[in-house]
Amino acid sequence: MLLNAFEMATPVHQSPGLWRHPESRAANFDQLTYWTDLAQTLDRGGFTALFLADVLGTYDVYGGSDAVSHERGIQVPLLDPFAAVSAMAAVTRRLGFGLTASCTYEDPFLLARRFASLDHLTGGRVGWNIVTSYQDSAARNLGLERQLPHDQRYDRADEYMDVMYKLFEGSFAPGSVLKDADAGVFVDPAGVRKAEHKGEYFSVDGALLAHPGPQRTPFLFQAGASARGLRFGAENAEAVFMIGSEPSVVRGYIDRLHNALEAAGRPADAVRTFAMVTVVTGADDEDARRRFESYQQYVDVEGALALFAGWTGVDLAGLDPDAPLAEVGTDANQSALRSVTSGDTTREWTVRDIAAFVTLGGRGPVIVGGPESVADQLEAWQAASGVDGFNVCSGVRPADLERFVEYVSPVLRRRGLLADAGLLADAGAEGDDAGAAETVTLRAAVTGQDWLPETHRGSRFRTGALVEAGS
């Protein structure tokens, strides 16, 4: 079972209102120690990666304004997810870092250098969550009147990935970075190739400024669950993040992903799958139940509606709370809307249902229980849905993740459910012993190899004769 922690550098990520809980330290998201302490906790607890979400605009759909979002801290203020990674890498050994970056708004040449730099500075422990973005507010912040149509964003992203693969894989042939002091040659110029890309959306001439890191291309996450998003993920992703209220909803996504992988000529096991889940745990079931009940005192229903409206582009303000939500066309996050309409055949969702559900854990399920109970529920969810692992959220941040590491991680280890890759070699290792654990790349932690496999489309852009990955 693979585990990522799902976080965001903001007061409210998935659980509106809970930043006010007495045990919450979410208001300290702007302090470096919040992130370094959390990273050390996750490293000790066997988490494969810290997965950091990001958006580039405010949630301004609810009531036609972002006033509620600002007032309630709904993903604003928001820091750059890249900023703290080097510091977190410096105090951990095996934890990876999944960073969200938009191929609609980020310049590919500059983004490639940022990722290559972090690949070096983290020892190959960096991943890219590829998004196309879904907010009109982001578009207006980045020079457009409104966002590009949904499918056009993915058409543009197809070319964007060609550029990134040319930069990551094609700029330096394997073995061309010599660092030969005796000969006075740092890089063999014969092994350097310019991108020379001229396409419909992008023009990039030169080679990547940064030489390849341990992974060459960062490990590739993706989270699109629309038909177009699944096709893009099937062609590019190494791991796909899915959100569903029930295992059957996620199982449906996985089945469609497998069909898309087959159409793309890739095997079904080429992509790892993760489902979002929020876990509230404690010393035993009763302790967990008490904590969960205390959370209910702080949930923010209006903040939840603002969050949902921002995801989906559908303003629920002023609607009949008992009216069922219908699926409508939107250029926002289509998977977010579909998860409570056609994607979930187990129930009919009303506005009231959505408000109550999103208040704790966003659109994903909430698991409450003591260590053994949580482990049982995670196993059951995995068996029913078919996911490889979970993106674990906190209601109260970071306390829920800290208690997961304290209580649940040891149980999962005893059951043999935490994969060896990406984890501390010794479940009981602490302090100096933990620091001595072998460093592995994020891709190796998940797939067992450092570089993109030869079956991945990105490897076709690699300059020179292919050599054994990681050599």
CA gap 467, 369 in Å, rounded: 48
pLDDT tens digit string along 58-79?
Answer: 999 999 999 999 999 999 999 9
Q: How confident is the model at residue 422 (pLDDT cuts 50, 70, 90)?
A: very low
Identify whether the C-beta of residue 163 lies closer than 8 Å to the C-beta of residue 458: no
How far is 110 from 127, CA to CA, in rounded Å? 16
269 CB burial (10 A radius; 0-12, 13-18, 19+): exposed
* pLDDT above 80 for 245: yes
Question: What pLDDT shows up at residue 166?
Answer: 97
**Residue 430 banded pLDDT, cuts 50, 70, 90:** very low
- 43: amino acid identity, one letter: D
Taking only the tens place, the pLDDT of each residue in 298-353 is 999 899 999 988 888 888 887 777 877 765 444 444 455 555 544 455 667 787 78
Tell me: pLDDT of 464 over 90.
no
Whether the CA torsion 51, 269, 152, 111 is positive or negative: it is positive
CA distance 400 to 5: 11
* pLDDT exceeds cutoff 80 at 186: yes
3-state secondary structure of 244: coil
| pLDDT, tens digit, 9 for 90 and up, residues 37-52 | 999 999 999 999 999 9
Rounded Cα gap, residues 241 and 237, in angstroms: 10
Residue 180: which H helix or E strand, with range?
Answer: strand 177-180
CA angle 53, 57, 59 (to 5 degrees): 90
273 or 429, which is more confident: 273
Q: Give CA–CA dist 1/45, Å, rounded.
A: 13
12: amino acid identity, one letter: V
Question: What is the CATH number that goes with domain 2-174+205-461?
Answer: 3.20.20.30
Q: Hey, what are 354's tokens?
A: 């959505």
Distance CA 441, CA 114 (A): 17
Residue 53 pLDDT exceeds 90: yes
Strand partners, 174: none
Over range 102-127, report the average pLDDT. 98
- pTM (predicted TM-score): 0.90
Provide the mean pLDDT of the chain: 90
Is 267 a residue whose pLDDT tops 60?
yes
CB 311 within 8 A of CB 335: no
